[in-house]
Amino acid sequence: MDKAKDSNRWIILIIVIMSTFMATLDGSIVNVALPKMAEVLNVTTSNIQLVVTSYLIIIAGTVLIFGRLGDILGKTKMFKFGLGLFTLGSLLCGISGSFLLLIIARVVQAIGAAGTMANSQGIVTEVFPANERGKALGLTGTAVALGSLVGPGLGGLIVGTSKWEFIFLINVPIGLISLYYSFKILPKGHKAARGKLDGLGSILFMFSIIPLFVALGQGLNRGFTDPFILFGFIVAATSFVVFILVERKREAPLLQLKMFENKLFSLSIFCGFITFVAIFCSNIIQPFYLQNVMAYTPQQTGLILMIYPLILTVVAPISGSLSDKIGSEILTFIGLVLISIGLLFMSTLNENSTILHLVLFSGTMSVGMGLFQSPNNSLVMSTVEKDKLGIAGSINALIRNLGMVCGIALATTLLYGRMSAKIGYRVTDFVVGRNDAFLYGMKTVYITAAIICAAGTILTLIRLLRKQPKTN
């Protein structure tokens, strides 16, 4: 490590954390603003979800490509390109005057976010020495979690006090400052390019991810037996099978399939996926519960939703320090247990629930996520070789966004499916005067999310029990 890199590593970490925070924040910050945006832009409640899903879909479809480009051309180059494009996209979102222009701007923003997400963890791993790497990666993991979870609360506060456009415009000054220091401080990384981008693999991967996410996102509106939705699933499944076959034969594949032979890497990735499925089931449901059932204002909703990230901010750094002393795997297990319990608690919420209930239940989930996220992030990045850090970081980001989209699709499908069964006819929106139907559907969503999270808990426990005799 050169002296410049060593002396500036903490500033580099701040730049990476800010960029990662903004990129993940914009996947969730619009949730509370969706009702207001639907009204202003004259769009239905179901269609306005495209503002969220389009962002997550594009990130998922391009993040592996940027990870591979980072390993070939340099992580710093791809990171700066992504940060610049994300800042431009944020500006375009803030000044867009129509729904179509907003979606186009979100696509630009998402491509930029993919560039930063794919290479941020690799930059941190290269810059920090081994004895500080776990702590640094833990902090980037905290930024990811906070960005995802602080969004609804911050969005509620912004929408309640100003126009919804400021949800995007707040990124612009932060992005410009981060970009300036990126050019000034980040390591140049002038290394010879290694290999070339797998073009065919990249195209097949996008045809695997984008139709899948579109089908999941639109399945509620059109019905999962609709020919368009079925066609999307068929294209995604066929492309994925061909993608795997092609990648096995490539000398320099887009996705290093051998990485998944490492059981710890695969389990850590899987558990990361299911936690984001579970948490986003809650994220998409809670704003509607607080505003429509409990009749809180957007400002009040925003403050209540801030409970989760505030607790996480305290717990996550402690978790990172603990992982160096007692190991990461036991902390991920305890975290998964608490998340599962918290989700079960959330399933008991009703019209008579108090703020104290929300604090206790949401706090349990938050402590669990704080204990889980940073150690799990460190486990993922510590199991791969240095020349695969870019693709490992992008896989981590891909799984995270896949979990978010699947969480949204699962939550909305279960919610409105159960509501429709309760009311007696198909609904795709909150029905005024039928809080009982919403609560019925919400309970199903939370119990399902708890079961999904418990599956990861059991797998982690099995691995711990199998590993235990070897350490005696």
Per the rule left: phi > 0, alpha: psi between -120 and 50, beta: everything else, 433 is left
Where are the domains positioned within the chain?
Answer: 3-197+254-471, 198-253
Handedness of CA 199, 209, 387, 261 (dihedral sign): negative
At the fourth CATH level, the homologous superfamily of domain 3-197+254-471 is: MFS general substrate transporter like domains (1.20.1250.20)
Encoding tokens for residue 43?
């769009």
Q: What is the pLDDT of residues 300-319, one digit of tens each?
A: 887 787 788 778 778 877 78
Give the torsion through C-alpha atoms of 331, 284, 361, 378, to 10 deg. Answer: 10
pLDDT of res. 342: 94
How far, in Å, CA of 254 to CA of 68, rounded? 6
For residue 279, give the nearest of 60, 35, 50, 453 by alpha carbon: 453
pLDDT of res. 433: 75
pLDDT of res. 468: 55
Handedness of CA 218, 223, 227, 230 (dihedral sign): positive
- List, for the chain, all residue ranges whose pLDDT scores fall below the cut of 70: 1-7, 45-46, 130-131, 133-134, 138, 141, 145, 148-149, 152, 188-195, 220-221, 324, 386-387, 467-472
How far, in Å, CA of 270 to CA of 273, rounded? 5
Per the rule left: phi > 0, alpha: psi between -120 and 50, beta: everything else, 195 is left
Q: What is the DSSP string of 28-70?
A: TTTTTTHHHHHHHTT--TTGGGHHHHHHHHHHHHHHHHHHHHH
